[in-house]
Amino acid sequence: MKKWLMEILVCPSCLPREAPLKLDASESEENDILQGRLECPNCQMQYPIRNGTAFILSYPFELPYPGSKYETPTVVSSYLWSHFSDLLGDPQGTSAYIDWSELMHSSPGFCLDTGCAVGRFTFEMASKFDFAVGIDNSAVFIRTAREIMIKRQKEVELALEGVLTQKMLLALPGEWPTENVEFIVADAQALPFASKSFSSLASLNMVDKLPNPLKHLEETVRLARRDKAQFLLSDPFSWSEQSAEQKDWLGGKPEGDFAGYGLDNITAWLRVGRENPGPGWNIEKQGHVWWKIRTHRNHYELIRSCFVKAFR
């Protein structure tokens, strides 16, 4: 974990109180902490840093993260294709991450990519902001993203048919910065960062995957500066009882709180100023991005991810 992250880290177990974490490093390499732990002086919780990866979750965890469907090699391979198909030269790929990236305006400060998976959007943000941070609660995704960050390349094994696979080399373009990029294991509903520490934030294709989508929104917006801030949320709004109880969905139901469409409801929610997340947001743009996930060479999932881009 890069040392520059220390200045904005707080204990996720103490939220809403923001207790800065103390670093106890047992092995470092220049600005990178390889082994050690982060300690909360307030609640005494300890968060390990193992082989460079920080695990800053408010609940006990094991490796791999129990119950996550994102921890299998097959899913990692699918996401590597989804994020980097253009760099792999695959004409079946989409320009989804470039489309989302173009919605973000370059500015000083930190950018956060919540639920970053294997990191493409975070890498895109590194050339637009001083620092780009990706968080995900999948340890396998975060380790994969960190491997690409460190080595700037990765051998990707893509499914072809049955047990047939094809190995390809993914290489980051030389001009992409990585020294200002970091990935950590964290929960998008209890983000381990101080309020107002980010000038830009994104939540791509994850709000419908969480047990408490509203908490994720509140947490993400808590981190945004009160002015000169931008926020991008994009999602297919595939609400499901497997992720959250229907009463907690932010759309996709006929009555009750958040009845109607998720994009409309989240847009309306963003407009309203609140004491803690701060002033309301102005809506810059709404639209959609076509996004694809690949299972094997003859099977893709095509997703219409609807976005709202806001600023304040």
Ligand X SMILES: C[S@@+](CC[C@H](N)C(=O)[O-])C[C@H]1O[C@@H](n2cnc3c(N)ncnc32)[C@H](O)[C@@H]1O
Q: Interface residues with ligand X (CB under 6 A)?
A: 70, 115-117, 136-138, 141, 187-189, 204-206, 209-210
Closest CB to ligand X among 182 and 187? 187
Phi-psi region of 58 (alpha: psi -120 to 50; beta: other; left: phi over 0): alpha
Rounded Cα distance between 52 and 34, Å, is 4
Closest CB to ligand X among 83 and 225? 83
Provide φ and ψ at 163, rounded to 5°.
-100, 5
Q: Is 108 exposed, middle or buried (0-12, 13-18, 19+ CB in 10 A)?
A: exposed
Closest contact distance (angstroms) between CB of 204 and ligand X is 4
Closest contact distance (angstroms) between CB of 242 and ligand X is 12
CB 270 within 8 A of CB 280: yes
Residue 53 CA from chain centroid, whole number:
15
| Chain residue whose CB lies nearest ligand X | 115
Closest CB to ligand X among 64 and 280? 64
CB 79 within 8 A of CB 71: no
Closest contact distance (angstroms) between CB of 114 and ligand X is 6
Rounded Cα distance between 264 and 45, Å, is 39
Closest contact distance (angstroms) between CB of 200 and ligand X is 15
Closest CB to ligand X among 52 and 115? 115
Closest CB to ligand X among 195 and 205? 205
Closest contact distance (angstroms) between CB of 193 and ligand X is 13
CB 188 within 8 A of CB 220: yes
CB 46 within 8 A of CB 58: no
Q: Is 17 exposed, middle or buried (0-12, 13-18, 19+ CB in 10 A)?
A: exposed
Q: Is 76 exposed, middle or buried (0-12, 13-18, 19+ CB in 10 A)?
A: buried
Closest contact distance (angstroms) between CB of 144 and ligand X is 10
Closest CB to ligand X among 67 and 256? 67
Residue 255 CA from chain centroid, whole number:
30
Closest contact distance (angstroms) between CB of 273 and ligand X is 26
